[in-house]
Structure 1
Amino acid sequence: MRAVIYTRVSSDPNNLGRSVDEQEADCRAVCQREGWQVVRVFSDNDRSASRYAKKERPQYQALRAYLEGGKADVLVMWEGSRAQRDLEAYLSLRNLCARDGIGYSYSGKLYDLTRTDDRFTTGLDALLAEREADVTRDRVMRAVRANAAAGKPHGRLLYGYRRVYGDTGQYVAQVIHEEHAEVIREAARRVASGEPCRSIALDFNRRGIPTPRGGEKGWSLSQIGRMVQNPGYIGKRVYLGKIVGDADWPPLLDAETYAVCRSILTDPRRKTQRDTAVRHLLSGPALCDVCDSRLRVQKNRTHYGYVCAERFCVSVKTTVLEQFVVAVLMGRLSRPDALDLLAPPEDRGAVERAREEVKQKRARLTEWYAAAARDEITPTGLAAIERTLLAEIDDAEQRAEHIEVPPLVRNLVGPAVEQRWERLTIGQRREVVSLLLELRVGKTYRGARSLDPARLGNSRWRGDSQTWAERGLV
Structure 2
Amino acid sequence: MSTNAVIYVRVSKDDKGTSRSVGEQEKECRLACERRGWRVVEVLEDNDLSASRYARKGRPGYETLLDDLIPSGTLDYIVTWEQSRIARDDVKFGFFQRQCEKHGVAIHIASTGQTLDPDDMAPKILAIFDAEVSAQTSRRVRRALLDNAENGKPHGKLPYGYVKDENGSWQVDPVAAAEVRDMVAAVLDGATLYGLGRKYHRPARSIRSMLLSPAYAGILVQNGKAYQGSWPPILDVDTSDRVRTVLMNPLRRKTSTGPKAAHLLTGIGTCGKCQKPLRYARPKDRPATYRCPDGHVSRKATVVEDAVEQRLFDYFADQIFSRRLFYADDRDAVAAADRARELRQRLDGYVLKAAQGKISDESLELMEATLGPQIEQAREEAQQMTVPVLRKFAGVTDPREVWDDLTLAEQRDVIRETLLVSIPVAITRDTKGVNPRSLGAESVVVEPRLEACAANMKDRKYR
Q: After TM superposition, list the pairs within 5 Å mapping 1:164-243 onto structure 2.
A: 164-167=164-167, 171-173=168-170, 175-176=172-173, 178-179=175-176, 182=179, 184-201=180-197, 203-204=198-199, 209-211=200-202, 219=203, 221-233=204-216, 235-238=218-221
TM-score, structure 2 normalization: 0.60
Give, in angstroms, the shift of residue 280 of structure 1: 1.8
Q: 2:117 pairs with 108, 113, 117, which one?
A: 113
Match of 1:255 in 2: 241
**Which amino acid is the alignment partner of residue 261 of structure 1?**
L
Q: 1:304 pairs with 288, 304, 323, which one?
A: 288
Find the residue that maps to 2:248 and give its secondary structure: helix
CA distance in 2, matches of 1:23, 1:272: 47
Over 3 Å counting, the alpha-carbon distance change for 1:436 and 1:12 in structure 2 is closer
Contact 2:421 / 2:445 at 8 angstroms: preserved in 1?
no
Q: 2:265 pairs with 282, 285, 292, which one?
A: 282
Report Cα offsets for 1:261-282 as digits up to 9, x if no partner.
332xx228x6797854212223
CA distance in 2, matches of 1:138, 1:438: 50
Contact 1:9 / 1:20 at 8 angstroms: preserved in 2?
yes
**Which amino acid is the alignment partner of residue 179 of structure 1?**
A
Contact 2:270 / 2:278 at 8 angstroms: preserved in 1?
yes
Q: After TM superposition, list the pairs within 5 Å mapping 1:46-445 onto structure 2.
A: 48-53=50-55, 54=57, 56=59, 81=84, 84-88=87-91, 90-91=93-94, 92-93=96-97, 113=117, 119-148=120-149, 152-158=153-159, 160-167=160-167, 171-173=168-170, 175-176=172-173, 178-179=175-176, 182=179, 184-201=180-197, 203-204=198-199, 209-211=200-202, 219=203, 221-233=204-216, 235-238=218-221, 244=226, 248-249=230-231, 250-252=233-235, 254-263=240-249, 266-267=250-251, 276-286=259-269, 295-299=278-282, 301-307=285-291, 311-312=296-297, 314-317=299-302, 321=306, 324-325=309-310, 328=313, 332=317, 340=323, 342-343=325-326, 354-360=340-346, 400=379, 402=381, 403-405=383-385, 406-413=387-394, 424-438=406-420
Over 3 Å counting, the alpha-carbon distance change for 1:58 and 1:239 in structure 2 is same
Give, in angstroms, the shift of residue 360 of structure 1: 4.8
CA distance in 2, matches of 1:95, 1:341: 60
Over 3 Å counting, the alpha-carbon distance change for 1:61 and 1:451 in structure 2 is closer
Match of 1:374 in 2: none
CA distance in 2, matches of 1:175, 1:130: 41
Match of 2:362 in 1: none
Find the residue that maps to 2:134 and give its secondary structure: helix
Find the residue that maps to 1:297 and give its secondary structure: strand
Over 3 Å counting, the alpha-carbon distance change for 1:82 and 1:229 in structure 2 is closer
CA distance in 2, matches of 1:103, 1:197: 51
Consecutive unaligned residues of structure 1, counting only runs of 5 or more, are 212-218, 372-388
CA distance in 2, matches of 1:466, 1:361: 29
Give, in angstroms, the shift of residue 131 of structure 1: 1.0
**Which amino acid is the alignment partner of residue 304 of structure 1?**
A
Over 3 Å counting, the alpha-carbon distance change for 1:24 and 1:254 in structure 2 is closer
Consecutive unaligned residues of structure 2, counting only runs of 5 or more, are 357-367, 428-433
TM-score, structure 1 normalization: 0.59
Give, in angstroms, the shift of residue 173 of structure 1: 2.3
Report Cα offsets for 1:328-369 as digits up to 9, x if no partner.
289759x9x997563589x99997665445435667899999
Contact 2:152 / 2:227 at 8 angstroms: preserved in 1?
yes
CA distance in 2, matches of 1:245, 1:267: 30
Contact 2:281 / 2:289 at 8 angstroms: preserved in 1?
yes
Over 3 Å counting, the alpha-carbon distance change for 1:341 and 1:11 in structure 2 is closer
CA distance in 2, matches of 1:397, 1:147: 31
CA distance in 1, matches of 2:423, 2:104: 74
Over 3 Å counting, the alpha-carbon distance change for 1:89 and 1:330 in structure 2 is closer
Find the residue that maps to 2:306 and give its secondary structure: helix
CA distance in 2, matches of 1:419, 1:60: 63
Percent identical:
23
Contact 2:88 / 2:130 at 8 angstroms: preserved in 1?
yes
CA distance in 2, matches of 1:447, 1:94: 72
Contact 1:6 / 1:76 at 8 angstroms: preserved in 2?
yes
Match of 2:431 in 1: none
Report Cα offsets for 1:423-460 as digits up to 9, x if no partner.
64422221123334455678799778x976x6679645
Over 3 Å counting, the alpha-carbon distance change for 1:193 and 1:318 in structure 2 is farther
